[in-house]
Structure 1
């Protein structure tokens, strides 16, 4: 194989690596990594429990859109009748209505539902965000976001800069640089796009 053909082959291999890395990274970014409202101790499930306990479904209705309201009302009446029997019947009715409410809430968001998750603590970002709403103090949220942003951005920046010094030595070193370069650029780009775009979904949003 001639030197020119080898160069072309190596070039296409590197371009292919860049393309694959971009696709993988973008898929990871676009996945719904966190479904805050699909847990047993999430706000939707808790509102569903409260609706059965009090006999008032107003607090759970706000978590769905108009398209899901009729089904939620029907399932609420069915669940409430069973819930009033107490004991195991009440537990089963509560579980069923919690799952139904979360499923319809996810539909209102335009997101898939893959079951009600067990209760678990909030991750630090959601904990800080919710506490800020309670206290009216946004400063802890700002500090958390700025710290995480600086740490991760700087990490990929330094890795890319370090790999750049050796990228001309051989193909392996060049590919290591490409890997870090793509991750760094896509990370910064997607962060900026996310900031500009705002929240990706909401209840009954269009």
Structure 2
């Protein structure tokens, strides 16, 4: 039982680190790719002729707008191949735009399939496989490497910080980078990161 609690705690830490280290303003958002979960749900909804599979991706206050876009899309899809492609694209864009608005994130257009950060793809794989172990190892190693690299640079520049103003400034720069990195990690662990 202890092992499961530890894995759950580490998974939460990994998620929190990912929230800060891989924020949407640093990386392409997964939900705005043509192979992401939002567009995948939209494809299922269009195939079934049922909007229900996409509603979980939008806040309740936007549901009517999505239902309306779905209804319009379904009406146009039967008017030929080009009309179907255009209608589907309209629905994907509308859905992703509204989903992103619900996250408080800007909509910058649909990205091609495969345009997702590797860490996000690995997060999806962890959910698909039901195991977070590989993801925990990947993120833990990346965080450890980031701390060690910044620490090493700071400690090396500290040795020469009093030799000249220029070398002192090099140390201060390394010191600030090291501590800000730690601060971002700590904020993520405490839950102050943004999606």
Q: TM-score, normalised by structure 2?
A: 0.83
In structure 1, distance between residues paired with 2:24 and 2:46: 33
RMSD: 1.8
| Residue 38 of structure 1 pairs with residue 21 of structure 2 | no
- 1:146 lines up with 2:135 in the alignment: no
- Aligned residue for 2:64? 70
Q: Which runs of 5+ in 2 are unaligned?
A: 1-20
1:52 aligns with 2:46: yes
For residues 115-154 of structure 1, the aligned pairs below 5 Å read 115-120=109-114, 122-154=116-148
Indicate the structure whose relative CO is greater, using CA pairs within 8 Å and at least 6 residues apart. 2
2:163 is aligned, of 166, 169, 178, to 169
SS in structure 2 of the partner of residue 197 of structure 1? coil
Cα shift at 1:123: 2.8
Aligned mate of 2:191, from 177, 189, 197: 197
Matches within 5 A, 1:6-45: 32-34=25-27, 35-45=29-39
Q: List structure 1 runs of 4+ shifted beyond 3 angstroms.
A: 28-31
The DSSP-based 3-state class of the residue aligned with 1:189 is helix
Per-residue CA deviation, residues 113-167 of structure 1 (Å, 9 max, x unaligned), is 1111122254332222111212221111110111101111100000000000111
Q: Distance between the aligned counterparts of 2:22 and 2:84, measured in 1?
A: 40
Compare CA radii of gyration and give the structure with the larger one.
Answer: 1
Q: Structure 2 vs 1, CA of residues 31 and 94 (structure 1 numbering), >3 Å: closer, same or farther?
A: closer
In 1, distance between residues paired with 2:187 and 2:36?
Answer: 28
How far apart are residue 51 of structure 1 and its match? 1.4
**Separation of aligned partners in 1, 2:80 and 2:44:** 15
C-alpha contact 1:99 1:115 (8 A) present in aligned 2: yes
Residue segments in structure 1 that go unaligned for 5+ positions in a row: 1-27, 202-206
